[in-house]
Structure 1
Amino acid sequence: MRILSLALPVVLAASAAAAGPISFGGNWNEQRLQLFNSNDYSFNGGSMSIASDGGVSLAWARTGRSDWGSTSASWNWSVDQSVPATDLRRKGGDDRNISVYFVFLPEADAASMEGANIRQLNSNPNVRILQYVWGGNHSRGAIQQSPYAPGQGANVILRSAGTGSNSESVNLASDYAAAFGGSIGALVGVAVSADSDDTGSTIRASVSNLAVR
């Protein structure tokens, strides 16, 4: 895993409209984390498929204005081929099948950084990212500071390494408070990653029906 927690561009504007489904459509983009290897993502409206062969990268999307005040999320995910169980607390050995990211800024920062690029966002120390993980060898519900960005990124373990299909429903507000303290702020972006480069293994997985509310 690389410094995924700081690699997301964001566009945000406030809105009181209700949030809802997030489409896996043409608004998603891949962010490479290494020069010579990455993952393959296929987008089909309600779902995303992932193929990773000893690679690592993430796909990200800006959230719509109506998603700004979201405090919970749900999705389905499936893994047909899995990386081995790893220690997600260790740099350079923390492969995982899937991470689903939720990126937050305080409301004032979100408004002032509307249209921010990657470099500008990276310079903001107030960015916070929850990373819901399928992988590793840890217990469900464990919350760990990211070894790459402690205090700014946190892993929330939902599934240990292995195959299967599952549905998830998470409380972003309570997990944020447990990981970082304080209130959740504004949801400004989402991302999905797969990471198999350290173990040189293979991932075949998918994410579908992602929604925030």
Structure 2
Amino acid sequence: MRLILPVLLAVSIAFPALSGPVSFGNGWSEQRLKLFSSNDYSFGDNLGIRSDGSVSLAWTRLAQSEWGTRAATWVWSVEQSVPPTDLARKGGDDRNISLYFVFLPEDQAEASAGAGIRSLLGNDQVRVLQYVWGGNHDPGQVIPSPYGPAGQGATVALRQAGTGAYTEDVDLTRDYTAAFGGTPGALVGLAVSADSDDTDSAIRAALGRLVLR
């Protein structure tokens, strides 16, 4: 991450802090998606990501004070990229970075306080909105997730596969409504993944300056 993180920090200098940024230090843990496959995450103020023909995700629960989040901003960078893929294709949808926003109806959020990510994803009331750098889709396209129960997850394509460093500013309410209809409930968790196993390729990336508002 020595080459990526300085770029990420340089981009963030001109990035306005609307409230305190989310730290990628304490509270984050890795969840394997396959038994013998794991990425290498560098946790701290920023999240460094190294993926070599592998897939996994890092995730955290959010405090109740963040449940009302309706927008987000962040900076991310990619130094080494997977090739373009079809994000609608299960088992062929490698991507550099996915940032997941995990929602539950407010009347269920408190009851799920001790649930892990696997338990949450097994709840048919959970909705997962993910923003992706990767694939071959037009920016802004909303793609139903090929994983999990139908209607539970949706992908918003932000950037096609490639390298660089960018800032993002997303309207969670707008994108949630476009993906699922209705309005989002409580934002109970965040996750970040990198996926390079289907193309047996490599990712060197980082994400930081994540601000919820």
TM-score (normalised: structure 1): 0.88
The DSSP-based 3-state class of the residue aligned with 1:111 is helix
TM-score (normalised: structure 2): 0.88
Question: Do the aligned partners of residues 25 and 116 (structure 1) sit closer, same or farther apart at CA in structure 2, a change above 3 Å counting?
Answer: same
Please give the root-mean-square deviation of Cα atoms over the aligned residues, in Å: 1.4
The DSSP-based 3-state class of the residue aligned with 1:175 is helix
The DSSP-based 3-state class of the residue aligned with 1:108 is helix
1:47-196 equivalence runs, <5 A? 47-118=46-117, 120-149=119-148, 150-196=150-196
The DSSP-based 3-state class of the residue aligned with 2:169 is strand
Question: Do the aligned partners of residues 59 and 158 (structure 1) sit closer, same or farther apart at CA in structure 2, a change above 3 Å counting?
Answer: same
Please say if residues 59 and 117 of structure 2, whose CA atoms lie closer than 8 Å, have aligned partners that are also in contact: no
Which letter does structure 2 place at the counterpart of 1:201?
Answer: S
1:22 aligns with 2:22: yes
Q: Structure 1 CA distance, aligned partners of 2:70 and 2:106? A: 14
Where does structure 1 differ by over 4 angstroms across 4 or more consecutive aligned residues?
A: none
Deviation string for 1:133-176 (max 9, x for gaps)?
A: 00000000000100113300100000000000000000001100
Q: Structure 2 CA distance, aligned partners of 1:77 and 1:62? A: 21
Question: Do the aligned partners of residues 196 and 119 (structure 1) sit closer, same or farther apart at CA in structure 2, a change above 3 Å counting?
Answer: closer
Please state how far the C-alpha of 1:21 moved relative to its aligned partner.
Answer: 1.9
Q: Structure 2 CA distance, aligned partners of 1:52 and 1:65? A: 32
Q: Structure 2 CA distance, aligned partners of 1:203 and 1:196? A: 7
Please say if residues 110 and 188 of structure 1, whose CA atoms lie closer than 8 Å, have aligned partners that are also in contact: yes
Please state how far the C-alpha of 1:112 moved relative to its aligned partner.
Answer: 2.2
Structure 1 residue runs without a partner (length 5+)? 1-17
